[in-house]
C-alpha cells in the first residue's frame, strides 16, 4: 500500500472517529436532558407541585371584625357596621379590549366620579398621578382595588344586579367603624381612627402571618394604642381555583376571629357633657371676640389616674375616616389655622401653664426654708429687677399676704421676688447650669417636662425653663438669630417691627445663653418658655388631691374577649410621688380650696354648694406674645375627700376663670348631681357616684355586622365641626403670619427657622413672654 493511500486512509478514519465523538457527545446531552427531566418530575416533583399549587390556589381574606370600644358601663363608643365597598379587579379590566375604559366610565356615573378620578384611585401609592398617602392604594398589586367605600345600598345593589354590565367590578360588604355616640359622646380624639396598612409596614410582617392580611390599622388614639388587641385575626380561606377563577374546592378554612373589646374608663354620659362643656366654652369665648382656636378638658379619678372624660377642641365627626378620608377633609383636619382638629389637644397640646404652675414655686419656697406657711409676704402691684418692672395681673396690689392667699388671688409679685431670691442664691447671671434650681426641680418632681405615659399615643413632653434649658435653646437657635441679627427681617412689614425683631435677634445672638433674672421670674409663674399639656397638669393636680401620689393617666380599663372574659385588666399604676411632705400638700390643698369660694373663680362658682362639695382649683391666664391669653382651670373635688380632677384649657380663650370656670362647674354638677345649689346623688351621671364598678361583660355577635344598613357616604367636608360657628368675625383676630401655638408643622420641639416672636427678653419690657410650642406627632 502506498504511503499516500495510508495517509488518506488514516484521514478517513480520523474523520469517522470524530463523527463518533460527536455522536457520543450528542447522545450524552440527550441522556443529560432525560436524567434531569426525570429528576425534576419524579424525584423532586412534589416540591414543584406544591409550588404550582401556589399559582392556582387563591386566598380569600375575610377581614376580622375589630373589637368595640365601650365606656365603663359597656356603652359602645366605637362599634362596627357593614359598609358596601366597590372594588375593581385590574387584571380583569386589563383583559377587556379597551382596558376597562368603558366599564370605569359607566361605574363613575353610578358613583358620581369621573373616569380619571377612578383611575387615579386605582394607582398604587408613589406612582405618577396617584393620590397622596394615606389616600392612595397601597394594597397588593394583584388584589382588587377599592375605589369607593360606604356607597349607598341603591348604588351597591344596582351594581350587584347588573354584574354583567360591570365585569371586574364587585360590590362587597365589609366591616366599617360606626360611632353610636351614646349621650352625644364622640370621644373622637381618644378613640382615634384607622388607616390602611402601608407597604412598609407589611414588609415587616412575614407573609404567612395572618397579620399580613390586615387592611386597616389603628393610627391614633386607643385604636392605635390597643390595635393588636382590637384588630383580631382575619379569616383566610385557601381555595383551589380553575383558570376562570371559579372556586373548585376549599383546601383550608381559618375563619376570621374578631378582635377583643376594649372597656375604657370613660363614662359616655360624662364624656358627652364634657365635650359639650368644652364646645360651649369655646363658643362662648368666641362670642366674646376671642379666637379660642383650640382647647381641652380632661376628667380623671384622682385616686387611680383613670380618665373619665377627655375632650379636645376643635373636633370633627369620626365618620370622616370610614372608608378612607377625602383629601379635602384631611387638609382641613391638619390645618393649623383651624386649630388642627385632628390633634388631641389633651395630650399633644402644649400651653404656658401660667398661674396653675404656682403651686410649684409655693412648694419650692416652703421646701427651701426661705418661706413659711405662716409668714406674710408683700404683694405689691409690681416687682422691679434693675430698671424693669414685673407687674401683677391688672397691676393689682394685695398688701401683705400669706403664700396660701397668694395662690388664691394669684399674686405674681410674691413669686417674682421668690424666684429672684433663688436666682441670686444660685449665682445670678454667673450661675452654672448644674446649679440646683429649686423651682425647676420642684416642677420636675411634680411630673412636668415628662410624659405621663397616658395610653393615648402622641403625648407631648412639654418644657421647663432653667439654666441648662436656656443654654440648650441658645445653642440650637444661635445660628439663625445671629444671621437675622446681621441680615434683619426684610420680609417683615412695617419697618419698625422689622427693626424691633432685629434688635431681639442681636440681643439673643450676643447674650442668649444667659439665664437672666427676668427669665427666672417668668418661669416661676409658668410663663416664658414653660409649656405643659393639659394631661400633665391634671395628673399633677390629681396627685396634690390624693395626697401626693402621681398616677399614670389611663383611658383603658380592661381588654374583654368576645365571650365576655376579661383578658387583661389594667390596674392603676403609680409613677411617682410629689417631693413634698403631707403638711405641704395639705397646705396647697387648703390654699386651692379658696379659689372657687373667694378667689379668682368665685364668680364662676356663685351659688355652688361649697359647704358640701368644695371644688379646689387654680385658674391661669397664660400670656402668649402676639396672641390672646390661654385660659386655664385646674381643679379637684371634693376638697375634703378628693375624687375627681378636672382641667380645662382654651388657647386664646381669655381668662381661666371666665372661659373655663363655667365649663368645669358644669362637669362637677354632672358628676355630683348638682342642680343649682341642690345636690341629688341620684342625678349623678356616674350613677350614685359609684364609678368603676365591675368590668362590664360585653359580648358581641357577628350578626350585628350585616344587620345595619349603610346610610350612604357620610364623610363630607361640612361634617367637620370647626370651631367658628359664631357669626362674629373672629377669624380676623388671628394674624395669618403668626404661627399658632399648636402648629403641627415642625416636629416636636424643633425649630428650624427663627421665629421672631419667641425672642423673650426681659430687657424689652414686662412679663409678656411667649411660649410657642409645637405639638406632638399626630400624623398617621
Partner 1 sequence: MTIQDDLEVRDNLRVIEMPATDKPTIVVSVDEPASPSTRPDVVVVERRPQATGDKWNLSGKIRENIKWFSRIDLVLAGAALVLSIFGTLLVWSATRSRLEAAGDDPNTFLTRHALNIVIGVALAIFITRLDYRTLRSYTPIVYGVVMVSLFVVLTPLGVSQNGTKGWLPLPAGFTMQPAEFAKVVVILALAMVLSEREVGRDEPSTHDMRYALAWAAGPVALVMLQPDLGSALVIGSIVIGILLAANASTKWLLGIVGSVFAAGFLAVVLGILDRYQLDRLLTFMDPSHDLQGVGYNTHQARIAIGGGGLWGQGLFQGNQTQGAFVPYQQTDFVFSVAGEEFGLIGAAVIIGLLGVILWRGIHIARQARDPFGRLVATGVVCWLAFQAFENIGMNLGIMPVTGVPLPFVSYGGSSMFAAWIAIGLLQSVHIRSRQ
Q: Are strands 216-218 and 194-196 parallel, antiparallel or unpaired?
A: antiparallel
Q: Grid coordinates representing 5?
A: 493511500
C-beta of 37 vs 395, nearer to partner 1:
37
Nearest to 469 by CA among 451, 449, 452, 446: 449
Check: CB of residue 270 under 8 Å from CB of residue 671.
yes
Tell me whether residue 247 or residue 697 sits nearer to partner 1 (CB atom).
247
* Least separation in angstroms between CB 44 and partner 1: 6
State residue 531 phi and psi, 5-degree precision.
-135, 135
Q: In angstroms, rounded to a whole number, what is the distance separating the alpha carbons of residues 233 and 255?
A: 9
Number of Cβ atoms within 10 Å of the Cβ of 356: 30
CB 15, min distance to partner 1, A: 5
Task: Report the nearest approach of partner 1 to the CB of residue 248 (Å).
Answer: 11
Q: How far is the CB of 21 from partner 1 (least distance, A)?
A: 8
Instruction: Name which of 27 and 706 has its Cβ closer to partner 1.
Output: 27
For the CB of residue 84, give the shortest distance to partner 1 in the complex, in Å. 29
Name the residue nearer to partner 1 (CB basis): 40 or 429: 40
DSSP H helices, 582-641, are: 582-593
Cell of 299: 376628667
What are the residues facing 195 on neighbouring strands? 217
Are the C-beta atoms of 85 and 150 separated by less than 8 Å? yes
What is residue 207's DSSP assignment? T
- Closest approach of partner 1 to the CB of residue 95, in Å: 6
The DSSP H or E segment spanning 297 is strand 294-301
| For helices 359-368 and 582-593, angle between their N-to-C axes, nearest 10 degrees | 140
3-state secondary structure of 235: strand
Place of cell 419524579: 42
Please give the Cα distance from 418 to 364 (Å, whole number).
Answer: 9
**Comparing C-alpha atoms, which of 714, 742, 737, 779 is closest to residue 177?**
714
Q: Judged by CB, which is closer to partner 1: 158, or 240?
A: 240
In the bound complex, what is the minimum distance in angstroms from residue 41's beta carbon to partner 1?
4
State in angstroms the smallest separation of the CB of 236 from partner 1: 21
Is 165 or 510 the residue whose CB approaches partner 1 more closely? 165
Least CB distance from residue 176 to partner 1, whole Å? 33
Please report how close the Cβ of residue 118 comes to partner 1 at its closest, in angstroms: 24
**Cβ contact 685:671 at 8 Å:** yes
Q: How far is the CB of 92 from partner 1 (least distance, A)?
A: 10
Cell of 565: 372574659
Nearer to partner 1, 53 or 114 (CB): 53
Angle between helices 101-111 and 153-161 (to 10 degrees): 150
Toward partner 1, which CB reaches closer, 45 or 737? 45
Return the SS3 of 406.
helix
Q: How far is the CB of 40 from partner 1 (least distance, A)?
A: 5
Nearest-approach distance from CB 2 to partner 1, in angstroms:
6
In the complex with partner 1, which residue's Cβ is closer, 32 or 397? 32
CA 613 to chain centre: 34
Q: Which residue is listed with cell 376562570?
A: 244
Q: Which is nearer to partner 1, 43 or 707 (CB)?
A: 43
Q: 31's torsion region: left (phi>0), alpha (psi -120 to 50) or beta?
A: alpha
* CA-closest candidate to residue 310, choices 535, 485, 100, 516: 535
Q: Which of 248, 429 has the CB closer to partner 1? A: 248
Helix (H, G, I), strand (E, B) or coil at 232: coil
> Which residue has cell 392604594?
137
The residues that touch partner 1, with contacts defined as CB under 8 A, are 1-2, 4-5, 7-16, 18-23, 26-27, 29-30, 32-34, 36-38, 40-42, 44-45, 47-49, 51-53, 55-56, 95, 97, 243
Which of 41, 424 has the CB closer to partner 1?
41
**What does DSSP say about strands 261-264 and 69-70: parallel, antiparallel, or unpaired?**
parallel
Asked whether the CA dihedral 102, 105, 108, 112 is positive or negative, the reply is negative
Please say which residue, 1 or 707, places its beta carbon nearer to partner 1. Answer: 1
Q: Helices 517-524 & 413-425, crossing angle to 10 degrees?
A: 130
Amino acid at each position: 500500500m502506498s504511503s499516500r493511500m495510508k495517509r488518506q486512509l488514516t484521514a478517513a478514519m480520523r474523520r469517522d472517529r470524530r463523527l463518533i465523538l460527536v455522536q457520543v457527545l450528542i447522545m450524552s446531552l440527550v441522556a443529560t436532558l432525560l436524567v434531569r427531566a426525570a429528576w425534576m418530575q419524579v424525584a423532586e416533583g412534589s416540591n414543584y407541585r406544591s409550588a404550582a399549587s401556589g399559582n392556582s390556589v387563591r386566598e380569600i381574606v375575610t377581614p376580622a371584625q375589630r373589637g368595640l370600644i365601650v365606656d365603663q358601663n359597656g356603652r359602645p363608643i366605637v362599634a362596627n357596621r357593614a359598609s358596601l365597598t366597590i372594588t375593581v379587579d385590574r387584571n380583569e379590566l386589563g383583559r377587556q379590549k379597551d382596558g376597562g375604559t368603558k366599564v370605569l366610565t359607566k361605574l363613575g356615573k353610578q358613583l358620581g366620579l369621573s373616569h380619571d378620578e377612578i383611575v387615579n384611585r386605582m394607582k398604587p401609592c408613589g406612582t405618577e398621578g396617584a393620590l397622596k398617602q394615606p389616600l392612595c392604594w397601597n394594597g397588593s398589586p394583584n388584589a382588587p382595588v377599592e375605589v369607593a367605600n360606604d356607597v349607598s345600598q341603591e348604588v351597591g345593589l344596582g351594581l350587584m344586579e347588573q354584574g354583567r354590565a360591570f365585569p371586574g367590578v364587585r360590590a362587597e360588604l365589609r366591616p366599617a367603624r360606626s360611632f353610636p355616640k351614646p349621650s352625644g359622646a364622640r370621644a373622637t380624639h381618644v378613640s382615634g381612627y384607622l388607616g390602611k396598612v402601608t407597604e412598609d409596614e407589611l414588609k415587616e410582617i412575614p407573609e404567612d402571618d395572618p397579620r399580613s392580611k390586615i387592611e386597616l390599622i389603628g393610627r391614633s388614639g386607643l385604636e392605635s394604642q390597643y390595635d393588636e388587641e382590637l384588630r383580631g385575626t382575619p379569616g383566610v380561606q385557601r381555595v383551589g381555583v380553575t383558570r376562570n377563577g371559579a372556586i373548585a374546592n376549599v383546601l383550608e378554612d381559618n375563619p376570621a376571629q374578631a378582635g377583643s373589646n376594649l372597656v375604657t374608663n370613660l363614662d359616655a354620659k360624662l364624656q358627652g357633657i364634657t365635650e359639650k362643656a368644652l364646645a360651649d366654652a369655646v363658643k362662648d369665648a368666641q362670642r366674646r371676640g376671642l379666637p379660642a382656636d383650640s382647647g381641652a378638658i380632661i376628667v380623671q379619678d384622682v385616686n387611680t389616674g383613670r380618665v373619665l372624660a377627655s375632650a379636645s377642641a376643635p373636633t370633627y365627626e369620626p365618620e370622616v375616616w370610614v372608608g378612607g378620608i377625602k383629601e379635602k377633609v384631611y387638609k382641613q383636619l391638619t390645618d393649623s389655622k383651624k386649630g388642627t382638629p385632628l390633634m388631641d389637644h389633651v395630650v399633644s397640646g402644649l400651653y404656658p401653664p401660667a398661674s396653675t404652675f404656682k403651686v410649684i414655686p409655693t412648694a419650692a419656697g416652703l421646701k427651701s426654708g426661705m418661706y413659711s406657711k405662716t409668714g406674710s409676704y408683700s404683694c405689691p402691684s409690681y416687682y422691679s429687677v434693675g430698671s424693669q418692672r414685673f407687674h401683677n395681673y391688672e397691676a393689682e396690689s394685695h398688701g401683705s399676704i400669706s403664700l396660701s392667699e397668694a395662690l388664691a388671688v394669684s399674686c405674681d409679685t410674691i413669686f417674682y421676688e421668690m424666684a429672684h431670691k433663688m436666682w441670686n442664691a444660685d449665682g445670678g447671671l454667673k450661675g452654672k447650669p448644674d446649679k440646683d434650681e429649686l423651682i425647676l426641680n420642684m416642677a420636675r418632681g411634680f411630673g412636668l417636662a415628662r410624659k405621663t405615659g397616658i395610653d393615648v399615643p402622641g403625648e407631648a413632653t412639654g418644657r421647663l425653663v432653667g439654666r441648662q434649658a436656656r443654654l440648650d435653646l441658645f445653642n440650637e437657635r444661635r445660628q439663625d438669630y445671629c444671621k437675622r441679627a446681621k441680615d434683619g427681617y426684610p420680609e417683615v412689614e412695617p419697618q419698625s417691627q422689622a427693626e424691633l425683631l432685629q434688635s431681639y435677634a442681636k440681643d439673643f445672638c450676643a447674650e442668649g445663653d444667659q439665664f437672666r433674672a427676668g427669665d427666672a421670674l417668668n418661669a416661676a409663674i409658668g410663663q416664658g418658655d414653660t409649656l405643659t399639656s393639659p394631661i400633665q397638669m391634671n395628673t399633677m393636680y390629681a396627685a396634690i388631691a390624693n395626697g401626693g401620689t402621681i398616677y399614670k393617666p389611663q383611658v383603658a380599663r380592661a381588654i374583654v374577649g368576645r365571650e365576655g372574659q376579661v383578658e387583661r385588666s389594667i390596674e392603676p399604676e403609680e409613677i411617682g410621688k410629689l417631693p413634698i411632705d403631707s403638711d405641704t400638700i395639705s397646705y396647697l390643698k387648703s390654699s386651692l380650696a379658696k379659689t372657687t369660694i373667694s378667689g379668682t373663680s368665685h364668680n364662676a362658682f356663685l351659688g355652688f354648694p361649697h359647704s358640701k362639695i368644695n371644688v379646689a382649683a387654680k385658674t391661669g391666664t397664660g400670656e402668649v406674645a402676639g396672641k390672646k391669653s390661654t385660659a386655664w382651670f385646674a381643679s379637684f373635688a371634693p376638697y375634703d375627700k378628693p375624687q375627681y380632677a378636672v382641667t380645662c384649657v382654651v388657647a386664646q380663650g381669655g381668662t381661666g376663670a371666665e372661659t373655663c370656670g363655667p365649663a368645669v362647674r358644669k362637669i362637677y354638677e354632672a358628676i355630683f348631681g348638682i342642680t343649682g345649689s341642690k345636690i341629688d346623688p341620684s342625678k349623678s351621671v356616674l350613677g350614685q357616684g359609684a364609678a368603676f364598678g365591675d368590668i362590664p361583660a360585653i359580648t358581641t355577635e357577628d350578626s350585628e355586622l350585616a344587620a345595619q344598613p349603610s346610610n350612604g357616604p357620610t364623610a363630607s367636608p361640612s361634617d367637620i365641626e370647626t370651631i367658628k360657628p359664631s357669626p362674629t368675625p373672629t377669624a380676623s383676630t388671628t394674624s395669618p403670619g403668626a404661627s399658632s401655638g399648636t402648629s403641627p408643622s415642625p416636629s416636636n420641639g424643633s425649630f428650624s427657622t427663627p421665629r421672631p416672636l419667641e425672642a423673650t427678653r426681659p430687657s424689652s419690657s414686662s412679663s409678656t413672654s411667649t411660649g410657642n410650642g409645637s405639638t406632638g406627632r399626630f400624623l398617621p
